[in-house]
A and B are shown apart, each in its own frame.
Chain A
Amino acid sequence: MTTAQASTENATLRPSRLPDPEIEAFLYLEARLADEARYSEWESLWADDALYWVPMNPDDDPSVNLAYIYDNRHRIKSRVAQLNTGNRHSQTPPSVMRRMLGNMEILDESSDAVTVGSNFALFEYRYSQRIWAGRVIHKVRRTDAGLWLVAKTVHLVSAGGPVETLAFLI
C-alpha cells in the first residue's frame, strides 16, 4: 500500500477508533480458521455478496485490471471445494501457518457494517518458511443472526511480485 493511499484512509490525521471486542474476535477467528486450513468453517463466515480480493496494485480497478484473487461468493465456494478434495497439490499437505493481525482501526462504519483496516504478518511453512505481510481490510456486517464477512482485501507488501504460489487462504 502506498503512502498516499494510507493517508486517504485517514485524511484528518486524527487517530481512528478501535473496533469493539466482538469485531476484533471475529477477525481473529477468520485468521485462525485460515491458518488452520479449516476451509469449510472459514467459508461459513462469508456473506452471500462476498468479495475476496488480492490486487496487484493498491489503486487497481477490477473492471480493467487483473488481480491475484478476485473471488465472489461462488468462487470462494469453488476455492474451498478444491482445497477440500485433498488433491489440490499446491496445498497437499496444507501450509502450516500462523498470522498476526495488528494496528486495527475502524476505517468506515455504518448502521449495519464496519470496515476495519489492519496490518498482518503471516508465517507460512511448506518445505521451507516464507513470510507474507501486508495490509488487510475487512468489511463485517452485523445482523441479528451474527457477524458476516462481506469483503476482505489483501494488499500484499510483495504484490509487485514475483510472488510464490498463493494456494492457501491468504
Chain B
Amino acid sequence: MNTLEPPPVALEDFDVSTIVQHDRVHGSVYTSPEIFQRELDTIFRRGWVYVAHESEVSEPGDYLTRRIGTDPVVIAHGRDGEVRVLLNRCTHRANKLCNAEKGSASSFRCPYHGWTFSNTGALSAVPMREGYGETFQKVRSELGLAAAPRVQSYRGFIFASLAAEGISLTEHLGRATDAIDRLLALSPTGTIDLRANWMKHHHRANWKMVVENNVDGYHALFTHASVYDAIRPAKVSHIPSKVDVVVRDMGGGHSEIDYSAEYRKLDEEFVWYGRMPRTKLPKYIAALESKYGPQKTHDSLVVGPPHTLIWPNLFLAEMNIMYVEPIAPDETIAYTTAALFPGQDELNQRTLRRAEGAMGPAGFLIADDGEIGMRNQAGLAARKPDWLRLARGIETDVTDETGIVNSDKSAETPQRGFYRQWASVVGGEAEQ
C-alpha cells in the first residue's frame, strides 16, 4: 500500500496573527491562493474531515466518489467489510480510477492500461506483467491505492484524515457529538438515511463564507426578509432581544445557533417543523414513543434538530445535512440532502419537500445566501478596509460547560470560535 505523508507546511515567515485576530479576519483569508493552499495542506490534508454517511455505503461493494479538500477519493465498502477512503488515482500513471458518482463494484479497473484494484485498495491485476520482469511482486505490493490512514465514524457519520498521526475522532468532535445525538434522537431507529440525492450547488464564494454563514444568527432578518415578508413569519423572532436563542462556540471550531431554550420555554412540539400538529404524524409519534418513551419523545420534539457546524466542512442544518468542498479561493460546492428516518415514509416526504423549499440552488433561503456570499467575494476585491470585523457581542460572551455562549443570537461568537480554530490549525499549532 502507498503510505500517505502529509505535505510539509512552511511555518517560517508565516505569522497567522497577521491575518486572523480574536475579533477580526483579514480579507486575504478569503482571496489568497497561497492561503487557500495552506488550508488544503493543513485543514484538509491533516485533520478530520466529514466524507460520507454509512447509509450511502451500507453494503460490501458500495462506493462513492467525493473529495477531501481538492483530493479526489473513493469511499469504498470493501469485500472484507471495512469502509476505506482511497485516493482516486491509479498508482501507475495517475488516471482518475473511478469516475461514477456512486455504485457497487468489487474492483476498479483503470481504463488506461487495465490495472485493477480490489475495493480494499490492493493492486490485484496488471496486464502483461512480464514487462516488469523479476520486480513484479515488488511493484504489486508497493502500488496499492493510497488510503486515508485514519477513518472513523460516529453514529453513521464517516470522517477521514489524510494524516496517520493525530487526535482521535472523539477528541476532534468534542462537544459536537451532542449535536449529532440531538438529530438522531428524532429518529425512531436512532439512524438516518442520506440517500435522497445530494443537491450540488456551485457557490461563487470562498468555502468559509459558505460555512460560517450557516451559524450566523445576525443575517436572517436582512438576507431572508423576502421569505418572512412574503410567505410566513420566522419560526421564532429573529430579533435577538425577543428570544431565548443563543449562539455557541463549542470549541474545536464547532459552533451553533441553539434554539432549544426558546423552544423549551414555548414547550411546544414541532415549532422547528412548521408547527405541525403531532396528530398529523401518528405513526412517527408512536414509533418514537415506543423507542424512547413519552417524556423523552416530547422533549426531543420540543427541542428539535441541531443547527450546528462541525469543523471544518459539515453542517447539521436542522433536518438537512450539508457539507462543502472547497474548489478554489472563490469557488465552493455545497452538497445538501434531507435527513430521512428509516421506515417513516410519511414524515420523510414532508422532510423532502421542506428541504426543497429551503435549501439548494432554488431554495427560498439558500439561493439568497449564495447570492450574498458571491457579493461578499466581489466586495473583497476592494482592498480597504483590510479586515472583516467579528467583534459583535465580544463583551457579552460567557463561558460555561457547553462552551462560549452568547445570549444575543446576533453575536459573532460562532465566527470567533471558527477562526480561533482556523488560526490554530493553519498556523500549525493545533493537533488534528
Contacts and interface: CB of A to CB of B under 8 A. Distances in A.
A100 interface: no
Given A65-B197, A65-B352, A78-B231, A162 B333 contact: yes
Contact of A167 (B223, B352, B357, B362): B362
B251 interface: no
Nearest to B320: A66
A142 interface: no
B337 A66 contact: yes
The secondary-structure label for the interface of chain A is loop
Given A66-B338, A82-B227, A165 B201 contact: yes
A57 B195 CA distance: 13
B229 A87 contact: yes
B202 A164 contact: yes
**Chain A: number of interface residues, binned into ranges:** 20 to 34
Contacts of A62: 352
Interface residues of B, number: 36
A68 B229 contact: no
Nearest to B348: A64
A36 interface: no
Contacts, number: 103
Interface stretch (B9-17, B365-373, B398-406): B365-373
Contacts of B82: none
A35 B50 CA distance: 40
A70 B229 CA distance: 22
Contact of A90 (B198, B337, B349, B367): B367
Contacts of B362: 54, 68-69, 165-167, 170
Given A162-B333, A166-B362, A66 B197 contact: yes
A85 B230 CA distance: 7
Given A68-B199, A163-B202, A89 B361 contact: no
Q: Which of A57, A63, A78, A90 has the most chain B CB atoms inside 10 A of its CB?
A: A90
A85 B368 contact: no
A88 B352 contact: no
B357 A66 contact: no
A84 interface: yes
A60 interface: yes
A85 B229 contact: yes
A81 interface: yes
B364 interface: yes
Interface of B: 101, 196-202, 223, 225-227, 229-231, 333, 337-338, 340, 345, 348-349, 352-353, 355-357, 360-362, 364, 367-368, 370-372
Given A60-B197, A81-B231, 20 more contacts: A56-B197, A57-B197, A66-B198, A67-B197, A67-B356, A68-B360, A68-B362, A69-B356, A81-B230, A85-B225, A85-B226, A87-B229, A88-B226, A88-B368, A89-B368, A160-B200, A161-B200, A165-B361, A165-B367, A165-B371
